[in-house]
Amino acid sequence: MKKNILVTGGAGFIGSNLNDELLKTGFSVYSLDNFDAFYEKGTKQNNIREALFHPHYRPYEGDIRDAKMLGSIFRDHNIDTVVHLASKAGVRPSILSPEEYFDVNVNGTLSLLKAMQEAGVKKLIFASSSSIYGNNLKIPYSETDVVDFPISPYAASKKATELITHVYHHLYGINVINFRFFTVYGARQRPDLAIHKFFHKLYTNQPIEIYGDGSTSRDYTYIDDIVKAIISGIAFLDNTGHAYEIINLGNSNPVKLLDLISHIEDVSGRKFIRHHREMQEGDVNLTFADISKARKLLNYSPDTGIREGLMKFRKWYESNYF
Ligand SMILES: NC(=O)c1ccc[n+]([C@@H]2O[C@H](COP(=O)([O-])OP(=O)(O)OC[C@H]3O[C@@H](n4cnc5c(N)ncnc54)[C@H](O)[C@@H]3O)[C@@H](O)[C@H]2O)c1
């Protein structure tokens, strides 16, 4: 029997996909989620519907800022590693409520780290973000680049969280991987994110908004590649005595917004109604990951190209929504 993993944000997009794979590979999963209202609770309940039947899956509905509850999870179960995905996600909404983003993302992580320290749990994987690079001029983005110039409260909260995980590594020997995810997509993708939103608009004959001239690019990364890397990260922390690593997880192959739109049209056989809008505050122009560190440390090799990923997404979308 493999170890016990606590996954925060376990009912969300990345968390629920990760949990399914962890269960398949023999881990016991403790999933903590407060079903935050950022998007529908029903969608998240759907994400975990099958896992609920698994004998080694135990869901907790609660908040990472609830120290008492965290203490009891750590006391009652012999948690080996925490994969911390719970977060207020989304760049644009963070501009409207920065306090909330800092409270959940930074104070929430602090509450988790304190509970880990008190319980003697020594391994943490944290979901940081490519948004931390801001409008970095040097490409591709490397973990050694200076990331002191975030352009949204969300990005600043991720940077602050990377810093506080280092403090707990230094003071209490918690071993950490901060993964910087680059625009993740695939089955169960958050409905606010571009690919899911575009499919929804396409299939319901609503116009899409194209911000800027369509040349903004994202390093879209398929969920299965991300999940595989997180599981390699768990093994890496098992085998490495003392670790504090920041690791990019991207596809290293940015796709322009207008190209993404054409790919979706090809893959679906439908045509978008397009509305052009000004660029929005907080959005970066480009994300592009240097993934050599992930390749070296984790044998990471993202092998889902954008066409294949979009075809898989279409299949999931149609079977869930049509
Ligand atoms: N999806 C991406 O492209 C992407 C890119 C970079 C980083 N990330 C990060 O990866 C993580 C997972 O993202 P996702 O896309 O799966 O988002 P998601 O919103 O689907 O999942 C996050 C989950 O956290 C839960 N949550 C929020 N606040 C909580 C709290 N206070 N206590 C307990 N649970 C709480 C939510 O209910 C949600 O289910 C997040 O930390 C996000 O910032 C995601």
Quote the ligand 1 centre to 193 CA distance (angstroms): 12
Q: Tell me the CA distances in angstroms from 169 to 89, 121, 137, 163, 244, one per residue in order.
A: 24, 12, 30, 10, 7
| Closest ligand 1 atom, residue 64 Cα | 32
Q: Which residue lies with its CA nearest to atom 7 of ligand 1?
A: 129
Contact 3, 27 (CB under 8 A): yes
Listing DSSP states for 133-189 in one string gives GTT-SSSSB-TTS-----SSHHHHHHHHHHHHHHHHHHHH--EEEEEEE--EESTT-
Quote the ligand 1 centre to 271 CA distance (angstroms): 31
Please report the domains of the chain, with CATH numbers, ordered by start residue: 4-183+222-250+289-303 (3.40.50.720)
By most ligand atoms within 8 Å of CB, the mutation choice from 6, 8, 14 for ligand 1 is: 14
Among 57, 101, 154, 300, the one annotated catalytic: 154
* Cα dihedral 164, 162, 12, 67 in deg (nearest 10): 0
Residue with tokens 């901060």: 178
| Closest ligand 1 atom, residue 130 Cα | 6
Overall residue count recorded for the chain in this entry = 322
Angle of the 257-268 helix axis to the 306-321 helix axis, nearest 10 = 60
pLDDT of the chain along its 322 residues, tens only? 679 999 999 999 999 999 999 999 999 999 999 999 999 999 999 999 999 999 999 999 999 999 999 999 999 999 999 999 999 998 889 999 999 999 999 999 999 999 999 999 999 999 999 999 998 889 999 999 999 999 999 999 999 999 999 999 999 999 999 999 999 999 999 999 999 999 999 999 999 999 989 999 999 999 999 999 999 999 999 999 899 999 999 999 999 999 999 999 999 999 999 999 988 877 788 999 999 999 999 999 999 999 999 999 999 999 998 7
Q: Which residue lies with its CA nearest to atom 9 of ligand 1?
A: 127
Contact 229, 182 (CB under 8 A): no
Residue 168 is a catalytic residue: no
Measured distance CA(271)–CA(10) in Å, rounded: 35
